[in-house]
Amino acid sequence: MIAPYVGRYVRRETLVKMVVAGLALGGAVFGLANGVLEGSHGRPYLVGGLLALLFGSFHAMRALLEWRDPSRTKLGRDLARHGDLAIVTAEIERAVQDPATERFDGGAVLTPTWLVFEYGIGLAAVPWREVAWVYPRRTTYKVTSVRVAALEVLLVRTFEGRYSKKDALELTCRPSEMDAISAKIKSRAPGAVVGYEPDLAVAWEKGPRDAHELIRKRTGSAT
């Protein structure tokens, strides 16, 4: 049994798959029905309907399995790396409720033991000991050369798990909160480098393992 806080996000992840499956199965019914009604001209509808049926059935089965066993979800798999899922989610629950935990408008939740990020229907959680490198990035969105939005993010890279390779966890935050969050991450993750460093970027592109070693040498953390 997983703790309620993480459980909400696991259920949301599964419900999204159920909605996708439902839409696909609805499309399958539409395509197959039109294929039958069109007779000899309905082959494209039949093919599309069959493909939608396979796609929808696959996701429906996957969603049902994940509903019964949360460890099958993406979030569940991520957290199961740290041990028994029930114990890990209970630990996160306690950490989120800790009086020392700080929340920020963009969804970052800095607990004494975990870096948690709430985004839309999703959740990411990384123990501080795994945080390797954190640095800011501004993404600007343009429409016909006119800037319409600028998004401030902190990219978080880790020693282990999903964010230890090419992908990074993106923490959205207000520009006014960027420095405060960076400073708090630095104090809670002593084994991490905070701030953009070109040589680390080059090392990470060559191979995360080399970058991990460089970070450990720079921070004096144990291998």
Between CA 93 and CA 91 the distance in angstroms is 5
pLDDT in tens, 65-81: 999 999 999 999 999 98
3-state secondary structure the chain: CCCHHHHHHHHHHHHHHHHHHHHHHHHHHHHHHHHHHHHHHCHHHHHHHHHHHHHHHHHHHHHHHHHHCHHHCHHHHHHHCCCCHHHHHHHHHHHHHCCCCEECCCCEEECCCEEEEEECCEEEEEEHHHEEEEEEEEEEEEECCEEEEEEEEEEEEECCCHHHCCCCEEEECCHHHHHHHHHHHHHHCCCCEECCCHHHHHHHHHCHHHHHHHHHHHHCCCC
Report, as an integer, the average pLDDT of 172-182.
Answer: 85
- Of residues 187 and 151, more confidently modeled: 187
Q: What is the pLDDT of residue 143?
A: 59
Please tell me whether the overall predicted TM-score, pTM, comes out greater than 0.85 for this model. Answer: no
Cα 126 vs. chain centroid, distance in angstroms? Answer: 10
Q: What is the pLDDT of residue 38?
A: 84
Grade residue 43 by pLDDT with cuts at 50, 70 and 90.
Answer: confident
Q: Residue 148: is its pLDDT beyond 80? A: no
Residue that is written with structure tokens 């059935």 in the block:
57
Q: What is the pLDDT of residue 150?
A: 62
Q: What is the pLDDT of residue 42?
A: 84
Mean pLDDT of the chain: 88
pLDDT in tens, 86-125: 999 999 999 999 999 999 988 899 999 999 999 878 899 9
Between CA 7 and CA 140 the distance in angstroms is 34
Domain map of the chain by residue range?
4-75, 124-219
Q: Which residues contact 213 (CB under 8 A, 6 or more apart)?
A: 223
Q: What is the pLDDT of residue 84?
A: 92
Q: Are 199 and 215 in contact (CB under 8 A)?
A: no
Cα-Cα-Cα-Cα dihedral sign, residues 72, 76, 81, 87: negative
Residue type, 50: L
